[in-house]
Amino acid sequence: MNPSASGWINKLISINNRESSKEFSSLTVLYKELIPCGYIYGSNTNIVNNIIDKDDLSSEEICKVNHLIALYVTHNSIKDANDFITNTIQFYKKINAHKTNFFLGIISKSETAETLEKIIHKRIQIDNNLIDKSFNYFITNALLFIDVLAYKQYLLTGTITEASIIKEESAIETIVLKTLNSKVEKTKYDNSLIKLFEQSLRYQQTNKLDYNEAIALLKTPLEKQYILDLACMATWSDKTIDDNERYFLYQLGKDLQLESKQVKNAMLSIADFYIEHKEDIVLLGSKNIVKSFYNNSSAMVMKLISRNSKRLYKELSQSKELMLLLSKSTVKDLSKEEQKKVNDQLLDIFKAIPSLAIFLLPGGALLLPLVIKFIPKLLPSAFDDNRIED
C-alpha cells in the first residue's frame, strides 16, 4: 500500500476491516496505542496495531495512515462505517470552508475517497522544503489529534466551527509555552524551541488565552491527557527534565485534576519513546541545517529508488556504459568526467520514470550523488563483493 498514491484510503479500510486482529472499542482505547507509535508526539515511527507493514514508508506516510485510522475508529464508534468518507469530508469542509487557499484544487462537489486523500495530504504535508521540514514537522503534526477530538464532537453534536479548533489550539499553545518557560535558566536552544513552537502552529491567534482560561477550556479526560502528553514532550525535547519542569508538570496534572500517577506515566512514556527511537527522530538542535538537508534527501532518495527498483534496474541494464561506471563506483572513485557521464545518463533515465521527476527540477541534480550512492544496491551482487544481503 502506498499512502502517496491515489486509492490508499479504500485500500487501508479494506485491510483494516479484513485483517485487523484487534478492535478498538473507543477513541480512548486507541489513544493508548497511538502513543508508542509516535502519532501523539508528531514523530510517527510505527503504524498503530501494525495494520500494514510500514516497509519503506516515510514518517509523513505513516502519519497519514495513523491519522486516517484515528478518524475511522472515532467515526465507527459513533456512526455507521459506510458514511465515514462523506462525514469526514463534511467535517473538514466545515472547519476550513473559508480557506480557499487550503481547499484550492481539492474540494469538489463529489465526496470521494480521492478527495479525502487530498485533504489529509494537505493537513499533514507541511511543505516540500527539505531543509525546513525537519524543524517544524513534528510540532505541527503533534497537533493533529485536535482534529480527531473535534471530529468526535462534530459526530456527536452535528456542529463544529473552525473557531472551536482555534480555541483548542490556543489552549495548547498557552500550556506548552508555559511548560517551555518553566525552565529558570534557558539556553539558546530553549529560546529557539519556544520561537519554533509559536511559528509551527497551524493557526495564528490574535486573542491568546491565559493559563487559567486554557485549563478551564479542557473538559474531557482525553483532552486533559493529550495536553499533558504534549507538555511532557515539550520538556523532554532537549533530552532533560529539570526540577522546575518536573514541578510544573505535576502542578499541571493537579490543575487538570489528574492523578500524580498519570503525570509520572506520561513522563515515562515520552522518555521511553525518545530513547527507543533516538536514531529515527530529528530532535530539535541535534543536527545542523546541512546535515538535516542531507538526511532528508537521503530518506527521500532511498524511498524513490526502493519503489522504482524494478523499472530503474531495467532502464540501467539498457545502458552498458552507465552500468560499467556504476559498478566501478562501488570499488573506486569516479573521475569528474565519469561523474558527469553518470549524471547525464541518470537524468535521461529519470525522464522515463515519472515519479523520479524531482531530479529534473532546478537543483535536482544536487541529489544525484545520493542516487549514485544507493544505486549500486540494485546491481547484481557480482559487482559488489562487500554487499551484505538483508
Predicted pLDDT at 334 = 78
Predicted pLDDT at 208 = 77
Cα 317 from chain centre: 36
pLDDT (tens digit, 0 to 9) for every residue of the chain, 390 residues total? Answer: 788 888 899 888 888 777 654 567 788 889 999 999 999 988 888 998 888 888 778 888 899 999 999 999 999 989 988 899 999 999 998 887 445 445 545 555 567 888 898 889 888 864 444 334 444 455 667 788 999 999 999 999 999 888 888 888 888 888 888 887 887 776 665 666 666 666 656 665 556 788 999 999 998 999 999 999 998 888 876 666 778 888 999 999 999 999 999 999 999 998 898 888 877 665 444 444 445 555 555 666 666 777 677 777 777 777 878 888 877 777 777 788 888 888 778 777 777 776 676 666 655 665 666 676 666 666 655 555 445 354
In terms of Cα–Cα distance, which of 376, 127, 241, 133 is closest to 249? 241
126 vs 132: CA distance, rounded Å: 10
Domain locations along the chain:
1-159, 161-285, 289-383
Predicted pLDDT at 359 = 67
359 vs 342: CA distance, rounded Å: 13
Residue with C-alpha cell 553518470?
342
What is the CATH architecture assignment of 161-285?
Orthogonal Bundle (1.10)
Spell out the SS3 assignment of 80-140. Answer: CHHHHHHHHHHHHHHHHCCCHHHHCCCCCCCCCHHHHHHHHHHHHCCCCCCCCHHHHHHHH
Predicted pLDDT at 121 = 86
Q: Three cell numbers at 280?
A: 529515527
H helices then E strands: how many in the chain? 19, 0
Predicted pLDDT at 127 = 45
Q: Three cell numbers at 186?
A: 534557558
Global pTM reads 0.70
